[in-house]
Structure 1
Amino acid sequence: MLVHAVYFWLKDGLTLEQTARFRGGLESLRGCESVREMFVGVPAATDRPVIDRSYTFALVVMFDDLAGHDAYQVHPIHKAFVETFSPLWTKVQIYDSN
C-alpha cells in the first residue's frame, strides 16, 4: 500500500462558493480507478503544540502500490483538478509513505 497525504493552503479571500468548488474538485479524484480509499477533510479541533492546523484542506489517498500512484498522477481527472484549482492555492505539501 502507498499512502499519499496532501495538504493545501488556499488563498485568502476566496468565496464560500470557490472553497466549496475546491472541495468538490478534491472529491472528484475518487473517480481515478487506482484510488483504493480516500479521505478529504479540514483541520480537526485538536489543540496541542505539535499540531499544525494552518492548512485549509487535507487529502489522503491510498493506492495498492507505486504503480497505482503513478497512474493517478497522469489520470485525466487528476490533471484536470490541478489545472482547474491550482490558481486557488498558495502552498501544497505532500507526504508519501508505504
Structure 2
Amino acid sequence: MEDQSRRQFLQNAGLAGLATVSPLAAAPEKSKELFIHHVYFYLKDPNNAQDEAKLLEGLHKLSKVPTIQYVHIGKPASTNRSVIVRDYTFSWMCFFKNIIEEEIYQTHPIHLDFVKNYSHLWEKVLVYDSVGPKNADEA
C-alpha cells in the first residue's frame, strides 16, 4: 500500500475502528509480542536549524501517545564505519507492548496531528518495524 493511501486509510479508520478490537480476541502472537517502530527522518533542508528544532518539537509532542512504552529520539552518532548510515536528521524509535498498541498509535490524534503539522519538513522517512523472532520451543 502506498504511504499516502495508507495514511489516508489510517486517518479515516480512526480510533473508533480500533476500539472494537479486543486484545483478548486477537491472535495470541499479536497481543504478546514486543513491537518496535523505528523511523528515520530526512529533512528537506538538512542544514536549517529552525526546521530541525521544529521537527524535534513535534517528536517530543508525539512521544505523549499513551500506548508508547519507551521512546528514543536520536541524531546520527559520530561513529565512522563503512556500514553505518549517518545521512538522516533524526531517528525515532519507540517500543510497544504489541502490534495492537502500535496500530492504536498510528491512528491516535497526537500521531495524526504530528503528520499533519510536521510532514512538510521532511523529504522522506524510512520505517523499520520489527518483532522478535520465535524461539525454537515456541514454534
When normalised by structure 2's length, the TM-score is 0.68
Q: For residues 12-68 of structure 1, what are the alpha-carbon distances to aligned partners after superposition, in whole Å with 9 as ceiling and x for unaligned?
A: 266422211210101111211100000001100000000010111000010000010
The answer for the alignment partner of 2:76 in structure 1 is: 43
Aligned-residue sequence identity (percent) comes to 40
1:10-89 alignment, distance < 5 Å:
10-12=43-45, 15-89=48-122
Deviating beyond 6 angstroms after TM superposition, the runs of 4 or more aligned structure 1 residues are none
Moved more, 8-17 or 60-69: 8-17
Q: For residues 61-97 of structure 1, what are the alpha-carbon distances to aligned partners after superposition, in whole Å with 9 as ceiling and x for unaligned?
A: 1000001000000000000000111111011000000
Moved more, 13-22 or 34-43: 13-22
Q: Which runs of 5+ in 2 are unaligned?
A: 1-33, 132-139
Instruction: Considering Cα pairs closer than 8 Å and 6+ residues apart, tell me whether 1 or 2 has the greater RCO.
Output: 1
What is the RMSD computed on CA atoms of the aligned residues? 1.2
When normalised by structure 1's length, the TM-score is 0.95
Moved more, 18-27 or 34-43: 18-27
Distance change in 2, residues 1:84/1:96 (3 Å): same
Structure having the larger proportion of residues in strand: 1
Q: Distance in 2 between matches of 1:63 and 1:93?
A: 18
